[in-house]
Structure 1
């Protein structure tokens, strides 16, 4: 009764829901005991409605969607309650009938398309399989329908790309292929599980626009699972907030955003960085942190100016160029090159944060790796703390790297799973012979405390920590050598919104106390605006705009910078009907033929320190 009343109230009349979930509880067997991870979920989805489930990693969002689809392992999971679709309870449906429901009446888009697509089959064949399994059609009819679907999801030259393999597509285009596959049988309900989390901001904007358009055209309902509140505001009619396996608040998206009642809801919203919120601040700002139990904001100290103005830059990069040779043929002759970084120049001062922003493939990470000589540049000058980085031999290079350390995007991949976190943090100190093991242990304990972890955690292993805790461990390890520069390569991109806020605050605190300089590499424009002193926008290996953060964000000049800004999801439910109409082109390829000579670039100064590349 409660479900139908709520649905009627939200949709303006008595409407039969497409999906109705009642008292859904999912448990997993742990040490011969059943442990519930989702408890008493209740919600309905009306025709053409978009319902979002939001919460942090571990809150039960994805388990809820997998329970609806009955995709959890049978031997170690137990699903209770009712999931009603078209008068049938999916929980008690025989497996053979459930197989017909999947992909036919309910389809699902997963977070990582590369692991969802088979790498050994062309994408056309994989989409066609989704059609032939559920429909009695010929191969020719299936191919024609696949081409129509590829056109619908805006994949250019669909006919030419029918026989290409997943690795030949970018992340955004692979996600479009997954959407085409999900839409193949014209489902009543589309479940989108974090479909934009791993994508660049412009590709994310295109995917959100695409889902809105397809929903209008096909009349389907959408269950959207995410931890990005900006995405929720732009796409959801109603929102369900989950916390520790339970549904803590449900309502219209506007009500949730403007009149959220639960402390956890308010904490989530408070941690969302909002583009344009820095106009009154010349310095970086800490993120507000709200206690999820009380809803009270934690007091934050004011950030002070740490930039050493008028001094020699700690890092000085001039005309840095890095290319990767492309070889082909029996003799392996060079036929071209990837122009990953092309004549990039910038300076970084003590206590300053310079952010490099742009889409995947623009050369941000290669720039960071080039200045540390993890990648060998082709030409240019790099001066770091008095070292001429380009001319160092192996021994001196090792010494130089004490002055510059990297924090990578995926801390689990950069931590040895067989090494305790204490040993991992101590290792750089011991390898550089800076003291005894006891000195290393004392310093590691001190740094773990400094990044908000307990020193008694040193005996634990990486898998025993959350993503945010592992990133703190990676930061502690980077600090063991007392570096003057830290290259943070997408260090917060994979983190939940509240964990991201905590790690960003930690980086700002460390900058205050240790006068660290950061080369902050990211595609998250709202986070960049919050933490940066200066910003450099990269496109196809070149810096197209660079300047003080306020100048770049308040007065963007280059067309690519404007495109990046326009693509940022804004946590404002009133924008839900707005489509950005972003161009669906992929970022252009940096591959050039052998012997290609790039044109000389000209820059104009818009305001003091604000330089913009003159567009052709």
Structure 2
């Protein structure tokens, strides 16, 4: 081991006036400027800000992982007193995974799919701690048990694709902690995870940090998570550090206007009061950062005939060793102008339900009626007609937009394909739709890569509106967006609903957003609806244990309430794979209050 890790008195990490620049055709362009911060042993410092603020570049600069020749870093990055910017590449190889561990946002891109989990964790132990492969495998098993991976001994020799997102993230934590680092850099480690898995990972990281007295640099845009984990907070905006201080002080008395607007944009559970209908997100004044509570939207008439009826829907997929019961016995209806939210963890069947309703996948059983027409029995021509009234907004707008055509062409495509408008009229309609979603007509000639994530989601909404639908499936439509952009796009969806009388099936795992967006909520678990009812009934009087678990796992953006949430459950979600001869039991629902139904808990 190089003397780069020699023990020194003082902070574990000290960054002084760090400026990192990227090489462009116009010369060197600084992307972060004069960043200074410290992380002590046993301390968690959070770097927060929206996409493009420079959070991840700060972390990658610290690890010296940016491309040489295309980037340069100036200033000082001191790890226990030794300057990493002056270290050789050989010394940095010892630091990475040795003195500094790093957890990346997406574990599947960080794990090699052709090597077993055990092999990948053991490799770090062999390289950095000089263990034999046999000793490294034994230590790997101990680490996997330590991060609470169920049946760790049998899973040691499995490949990454056989692990859930939450389990893969635990493997990344085990790998990052394998060499007992002095500093852990966690770059958005829970952003892609469901709220219950997120709570569990944060709980695990806190426990491991206490055991090792490790410094943690936590990078995120989720202020609720910051309130739960950070001792001190650094706020970044467009490459500059605009505010720093103790987390409780930053939350209680933010000084910078941007920090105020960031905190004002956070959706918070329990702010809806007695509101029956959805409520717009707070309107933030860009000059002061202050916010006024958004107005309540129009109520839905209970006498209207449902635009969508789903009855005993089932979707199953056959595997060589069994059958996945992805959706089982799901029933609900949706009235014009109403939002019904489907909530639950990944794998619970939310998206499968939405895709089956739109007939992007074929249901196994049950009926789906849209505007009086049974979708399950519709042929190609009938489906084509149905899609004029039923549309879908996908989670990842970049993946759902063709990168080779302009956004104007993408929005016009459905209108031309259905023969509704001529090319000339379609062009005028595209301009109108772009204006409706808060963009400009001039943007029609740009390609998807020229837009931010929030703008691309607005383009996807414009395309969904092109055929004047009455019903939209919004599948995690705001989940990947930064907090302020999430509020803007959510308000846009509410405004369009009120203007056009749209019905939404709003699929999400973000309970704070769901509370503001919904008239009613259906909670899904292992392919079944376990509780359904009006928004207030679900949040004020949750009956099913899983509903309570979902709500209690939501991070509260208030540092004074840190640690008051219920301890998370540590077991992995059960598998929906059943034997081929499995017959689903008929579920019984109890009515708690008008329209509030909860599944009776019986043996599966």
Distance 2:55 2:177 in 1: 22
Residue 321 of structure 1 pairs with residue 314 of structure 2: yes
The residue aligned with 2:298 is: 305
- Give the alignment of 1:536-615 within 5 angstroms: 536-578=522-564, 580-615=566-601
Equivalent-residue separation in structure 2 for 1:209 and 1:234 (angstroms): 10
TM-score by length of 1: 0.95
2: CA distance, partners of 1:91 / 1:291: 41
Q: Give, in whole Å, the separation in 1 of the partners of 2:509 and 2:385.
A: 31
Q: 1:300 to 1:456 in 2, by over 3 A?
A: farther
Cα-Cα RMSD: 1.3
Residue 478 of structure 2 corresponds to 492
Q: Is the 8 A contact 2:282 2:294 kept in 1?
A: no
1:536–1:546 CA contact under 8 A, matched in 2: yes
Residue 574 of structure 1: how far off its partner (Å): 1.6
Alpha-carbon shift at residue 158 of structure 1 (Å): 1.1
Residue 347 (structure 2) aligned to one of 361, 368, 372: 361
Deviations 1:493-516 (A, max 9, x none): 110011000000000000110010
**Alignment deviations for residues 553-579 of structure 1 (CA, whole Å, 9 cap, x no partner):** 100000110111111111010233456
Distance 1:293 1:26 in 2: 29
Aligned to 2:174, the other structure's residue is in SS state helix
Q: How does 1:511-526 map to 2 (within 5 A)?
A: 511-526=497-512
Q: How far is 1:552 from its partner? A: 0.5
Q: Within 5 A, what are the aligned runs for 1:451-466?
A: 451-466=437-452
- In the alignment, the residues of structure 2 paired with residue 313 and residue 479 of structure 1 have an alpha-carbon distance, to the nearest angstrom, of 20
Q: How many corresponding residue pairs?
A: 595
Q: Is the 8 A contact 1:510 1:516 kept in 2?
A: yes
Choose the corresponding residue for 2:329, options 343, 348, 351. 343
Is the contact made by 2:9 and 2:80 (CA closer than 8 Å) also made in structure 1? no
Q: Is the 8 A contact 2:186 2:217 kept in 1?
A: yes
Native 8 Å contact 1:205 1:580 kept in 2: no
- Alpha-carbon distance in structure 2 between the residues aligned to 1:205 and 1:15: 34
Does the Cα contact within 8 Å between 1:209 and 1:580 map onto a contact in 2?
no
What CA distance in whole angstroms lies between the structure 2 residues aligned with 1:137 and 1:449? 62
User: Match for 2:148 among 154, 159, 183?
Assistant: 154
Given that 1:289 and 1:498 are in contact with CA atoms closer than 8 Å, whether structure 2 keeps it comes out as no
Deviation digits for residues 278-329 of structure 1, max 9, x if unmatched? 12322211111324443244x6763332423212100011111111112x3x
Partner secondary structure for residue 317 of structure 1: strand
Of stretches 541-550 and 573-582 in structure 1, the one that deviates more from structure 2 is 573-582
How far is 1:438 from its partner?
Answer: 1.1
User: Aligned equivalents of 2:13 and 2:403: distance in 1?
Assistant: 42
Question: Which runs of 5 or more residues in structure 2 are unaligned?
Answer: 1-7
Q: CA deviation at 1:583?
A: 1.5
Tell me how far 1:120 sits from its aligned partner. Answer: 0.2
Structure 1's consecutive aligned runs of 4 or more residues displaced over 6 angstroms after TM superposition are none
Unaligned 5+ runs, structure 1: 1-13, 329-334
The 1:304–1:289 alpha-carbon spacing in structure 2 relative to 1, beyond 3 Å, is closer
Q: Which of the numbers 210, 227, 230 marks the counterpart of 1:233?
A: 227
Are 1:532 and 2:525 matched, yes or no? no
Counterpart CA distance in 1 for 2:103 and 2:408 is 39
Residue aligning to 1:443: 429
How many Å apart are 1:440 and its aligned residue?
0.8
Q: Cα–Cα, structure 1 residues 203 and 603, in superposed 2: closer, same or farther, change >3 Å?
A: same
Aligned: 1:403 with 2:389: yes
TM-score (norm 2): 0.97
* TM-superposed deviation, 1:388: 1.4
